[in-house]
Amino acid sequence: MAGRLVIISHTAHYHYKDQFFGWGPTIREINNVAEEFDVVIHFAPLHKLPMSGGNLPYNRSNIKYIRLLEAGGSGIFNKLKILFFAPANAFIILKIIRPSDWIQLRAPSNIALIMLPIFSILRFFNIWVKYAGNWNEKSPAFTYKVQRWWLRNNVQGSFVTINGKWEKNGNHILAFENPCINDDELKRASQIVLQKQYSLPLNICFIGQLDENKGIINLIEAFKYLNGDGIHYINKVIVVGDGPLMNKLIEMIKGLNITVELLGYLNHDKIFKVYKDAHINILPSKSEGFPKVIAEGAAYGCIPVVTNMSSLDQYIKNNENGILLPDNSSESIYKALKQIVSITTEDRKTMAINATKMAENFTYEHYVKRIFADIINAPKKEN
């Protein structure tokens, strides 16, 4: 065991029936990492119920959750709360984190904006920062730009893990895959892919927040283009997620000559069942780091169709193991769908099998191994 790990994040938590729940993909990652540490302490904000079905509880007794004050959101009052609660949240963290062997700070986030200057002064902590956003984004939000500048210049003196490999980075910046599946799940998924048929009509899935960034409206608009022009090649569309555009989405699908299932948030077991039935996984986002749902779906033979951004083209090769959209417009999505249905069944199967090979980089076991090889047991790197 590697001692005590502290994680500081913005992951929303909820208290329900004497258990703490958090966003499923993050909690699964922490559950797997905790297998290699004696104690894991997770500092994160506690939100009020209700919570979505995509949240999970911790499954290991050596994980301890500690509440931070909730701050941020839309509106000037909520943004001012970030500054107002900053001293209290910093105090909550600093009074508990010592002694700790390692600290993982998750960025970009409001709490990272607070803690980065503090850790730049208190440089006796062993820290690594996990930057989950698009490291190469040309016009990020101002607070994201500040955090990226801070990390790139290594003011805090730590390792930084990011999505993808980019030029002009210091030796302290490491390209890391964002894990989403374990080895056993990957083996079971590969057997499913071998049995999956890719003849027409096809099933499509979309998994993500129903908001402007994820492109769900553009996806539905693309199906309008297909109406009368190949819509019969699509069996159904499965939408997993919720958000501010749900009501608009309900109205839009009424005019489609295609079945659209709106399932809301699901836990990972039910999402895996969606992947099992789907042939194409579409995520036409405006901005991403490397979304976990793309690698998850690829493991189950769902051909990824994603906007070409961030590090996605470092893993997805156009027309080989997926389709890279030049932008997230409905026209681009329409053209990609037409392309997939126009190729042979064998070519679709080949593309799907190639996608499963890409997913092998995104296992928890691979992630934990790299944490120890490249961070925990590696000499501290400077610029």
Do 106 and 128 contact (CB within 8 A), yes or no? no
pLDDT 10s per residue in the chain (383 long)?
679 999 999 999 999 999 999 999 999 999 999 999 999 999 999 999 999 888 999 999 999 999 999 877 667 776 777 788 999 999 999 999 988 899 999 999 999 999 999 999 988 889 999 999 899 998 899 999 999 999 999 999 999 999 999 988 899 999 999 999 999 999 999 999 999 999 999 999 999 999 999 999 999 999 888 766 667 899 999 999 999 999 999 999 998 888 999 999 998 889 999 999 999 999 999 988 899 999 999 999 999 999 999 999 999 999 999 999 999 999 999 999 999 999 999 999 999 999 999 999 999 999 999 999 999 998 765 55
Neighbour count for residue 380 (Cβ, 10 Å): 11
The domain limits of the chain are 4-179+364-376, 183-360
What's the number of CA atoms in the CB half-sphere (13 Å) around residue 203?
16
Residue of 246, 284, 277 lying closest to 262 (CA atoms): 246
Angstrom distance (rounded) from CA 224 to CA 258: 10
What's the number of CA atoms in the CB half-sphere (13 Å) around residue 346?
0
Tokens standing for 118? 């503090």
Angstrom distance (rounded) from CA 299 to CA 274: 12
**What pLDDT does residue 379 have?**
76
The CATH architecture to which 183-360 belongs is: 3-Layer(aba) Sandwich (3.40)
List CB contacts of 369: < 8 A, sequence separation 6 or more. none
Topology of domain 4-179+364-376 in CATH is Rossmann fold (3.40.50)
Angstrom distance (rounded) from CA 312 to CA 163: 9
Query: Is cis: bond before 108, omega within 30 of 0?
Result: yes
Domains 4-179+364-376 and 183-360 share a fold: yes
Angstrom distance (rounded) from CA 332 to CA 336: 6
**What pLDDT does residue 1 have?**
67
DSSP state of 372: I
CA distances from 366 to 321, 359, 361, 374 (A): 21, 11, 7, 12
Bridge partners, residue 322, by sequence: 318
Question: Which residue's entry shows tokens 């790139």?
Answer: 152
CA 28 to chain centroid, in Å, comes to: 12
